């Protein structure tokens, strides 16, 4: 089990942690019914925070930011010598948490994506984990919620009996949700991105060999070029360039330079 604290990559604080430690920390909070925010960050999420100092503040305040992408893990290893043997991939973390929740009898809630996806996700997870207690599933709104909507959503999730909420709203909405709703829900919130679509069978996952080589982005770009081309063809080269400058000591990125949000966005 590896947990070596938060380390800065381009001014974004990423936890040097492995699957076992991440699952243990999240499940410990779930059993204690304590708030904890967690998100899985790949290059896209990291670069969104690099270019937006308010979002960087949110991300740097999240309790557990796991290295979802191989390049993020490599950056931690090269910059900070943390020797992480693997990334903490959001879809895989989701399955490991579901297995742990099923074994412990911990009720879980799924919030995000659309009705077709969350319904199929629920069906498939029940087949895979017969003992998993799914307290509820609900499609996201993908917009800012009003006061009444926010109050009702929080009440539905809390009253369901859930002790752990998975969120799939896409970057950066899900990170905003994890940051803003942490105290409102009072339980672990785990933002896992495309895990909903992957495990519902709506979007194919890259082969393990491409994932290990850090080339998952190529597979996803080939399958969703219209949606993802800007993300990968602009952000990936920019990440490489900025990381090279930081690794060479030619540029310093200050994690403390982020700017506190002036209000809530209430993405839901």
Mean pLDDT of 98-120: 96
Are 15 and 258 in contact, with CB atoms under 8 Å apart? no
Q: Give the whole-number percent of the chain exceeding pLDDT 70.
A: 98
Are 90 and 70 in contact, with CB atoms under 8 Å apart? no
Supply the pLDDT for residue 96. 98
Q: Is the pLDDT reported for residue 233 higher than 80?
A: no
Are 16 and 4 in contact, with CB atoms under 8 Å apart? yes
Q: Give the whole-number percent of the chain exceeding pLDDT 90.
A: 72
Residues ≥6 apart with Cβ < 8 Å to 61:
37, 179
- Tens digits of residue pLDDT in 132-149: 999 999 998 888 888 888
Task: Give this prediction's pTM.
Answer: 0.94
Angle at CA of residue 89, ends 84 and 91, nearest 5°: 160
Domain 32-204 has CATH 3.20.20: no
Q: Is the pLDDT reported for residue 7 higher than 80?
A: yes
Q: Is the pLDDT reported for residue 177 higher than 70?
A: yes
Which of the four pLDDT bands, split at 50, 70 and 90, describes residue 231?
Answer: confident
Supply the pLDDT for residue 158. 95
- Tens digits of residue pLDDT in 64-74: 999 999 999 99
* Cα 260 to Cα 132: distance, rounded to the nearest angstrom: 38
- Tens digits of residue pLDDT in 74-102: 999 999 999 999 999 999 999 999 999 99
Instruction: Give span(s): CATH 3.40.50, the chain.
Output: 32-204
* Cα 28 to Cα 124: distance, rounded to the nearest angstrom: 26
Q: Using alpha carbons, select from 236, 265, 179, 187 the residue that is nearest to residue 46.
A: 236
* Cα 77 to Cα 231: distance, rounded to the nearest angstrom: 24
Which of the four pLDDT bands, split at 50, 70 and 90, describes residue 22?
Answer: very high
More confident residue, 7 or 145: 7
Q: Is the pLDDT reported for residue 110 higher than 80?
A: yes
Structure tokens that stand for 222 in this block: 């080939």
SS3 of 67-111 = ECCHHHHHHHHHHHCCCCCCCCCHHHHHHHHHHHHHHHCCCEEEE
More confident residue, 34 or 149: 34
* Cα 175 to Cα 3: distance, rounded to the nearest angstrom: 21
* Cα 207 to Cα 81: distance, rounded to the nearest angstrom: 28
On average, the pLDDT of the chain sits at: 91
């Amino acid at each position: 089990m590896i947990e070596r604290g938060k380390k800065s990559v381009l001014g974004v604080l990423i936890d040097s942690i492995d699957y076992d430690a991440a699952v243990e920390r999240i499940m410990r909070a779930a059993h204690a019914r304590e708030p904890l925010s967690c998100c899985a960050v790949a290059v896209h999420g990291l670069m969104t925070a690099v270019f937006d100092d308010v979002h960087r503040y949110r991300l740097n305040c999240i309790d557990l930011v796991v290295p979802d992408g191989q390049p993020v893990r490599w950056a931690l290893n090269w910059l900070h010598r943390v020797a992480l043997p693997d990334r903490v991939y959001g879809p895989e973390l989701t399955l490991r948490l579901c297995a742990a929740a099923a074994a412990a009898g911990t009720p879980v809630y799924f919030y995000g994506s659309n009705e077709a996806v969350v319904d199929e996700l629920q069906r498939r997870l029940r087949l895979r984990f017969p003992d998993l207690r799914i307290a509820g599933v609900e499609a996201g709104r993908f917009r800012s919620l009003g006061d009444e909507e926010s109050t009702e959503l929080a009440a539905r999730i809390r009253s369901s009996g859930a002790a752990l909420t998975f969120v799939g709203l896409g970057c950066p909405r899900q990170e905003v949700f994890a940051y803003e709703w942490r105290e409102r829900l009072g339980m672990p919130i785990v933002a896992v991105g495309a895990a909903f679509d992957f495990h519902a069978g709506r979007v194919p996952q890259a082969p393990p060999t491409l994932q290990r080589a850090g080339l998952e982005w190529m597979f996803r770009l080939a399958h969703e070029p219209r949606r993802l081309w800007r993300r990968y063809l602009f952000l990936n080269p920019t990440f490489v360039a900025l990381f090279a400058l930081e690794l060479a000591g030619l540029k310093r990125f200050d994690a403390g330079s982020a700017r506190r949000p002036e209000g809530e966005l209430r993405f839901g």
